[in-house]
Amino acid sequence: MISAGDFRNGVTIEYEGNVYQIIEFQHVKPGKGAAFVRTKLKNIISGGVVEKTFRPTEKCPTARIDRKDMQYLYSDGDLYYFMDTENFEQLAINKDNVGDALKFVKENDMCKVCSYNGNVFSVEPPMFVELVVTDTEPGFKGDTATGATKPAVVETGATVAVPLFVNQDDVIKIDTRTGEYLSRV
């Protein structure tokens, strides 16, 4: 159990039959009346965000989220297959639970599979990936003063905005949280 006065960003709680992660919190002490905690909560299963206020003495049970490292094997229709590298068990996850998480992930890359009470609700890709550029237009010499970018297709099929000096067959580093180009490797 965690009291509302101890809320921090990233803490997961069970509230009104749902599991929420605290995105933002603010302790408010008005000049008149009792103090309260204003929070922004993200439902980790549906992805919806709600705002709630709590009294600082209110208590909520903390939700235990299991994050397990698993290797992404392949996709087959609407199912994505992952393997536990410790006991080699395979797990099929529905396309709805994966979402856009695997758009920068190649086969055999490691991901974190998130579950609550044994039910998988999301997949977290590695923070940074290195991918080969499979298709991009050639850049123009001397056209770099503006910090211009061009679209490039990487080996997973995703499109990334890259600087003009990046060419086809270059290996680039991408931040999977934002989908932004970081550097050439």
Using left for φ > 0, alpha for ψ between -120 and 50, and beta otherwise, residue 47 falls in left
The residue among 51 and 102 whose pLDDT is bigger is: 51
- Given a cut of 70, is residue 140 above it in pLDDT? no
| Average pLDDT across the chain, whole number | 86
Q: Where are the domains of the chain?
A: 2-60, 66-124, 128-184
CATH class of 66-124: mainly beta
For residue range 17-71, list pLDDT tens digits in order.
888 888 889 998 988 888 999 999 988 877 788 999 999 888 999 888 888 999 9
pLDDT band at 144 (very low <50, low <70, confident <90, very high): low
* The domains spanning 66-124 and 128-184 adopt the same CATH topology: yes
Task: Decide yes or no: CATH 2.30.30.30 for domain 2-60.
Answer: yes
Contact assessment for residue 151 and residue 172, using Cβ atoms and an 8 Å cutoff: no
Q: What is the pLDDT of residue 50?
A: 92
CATH class of 128-184: mainly beta
Contact assessment for residue 72 and residue 108, using Cβ atoms and an 8 Å cutoff: yes
pTM of this prediction exceeds 0.75 = no
Gap between the Cα atoms of 112 and 124, Å rounded: 5
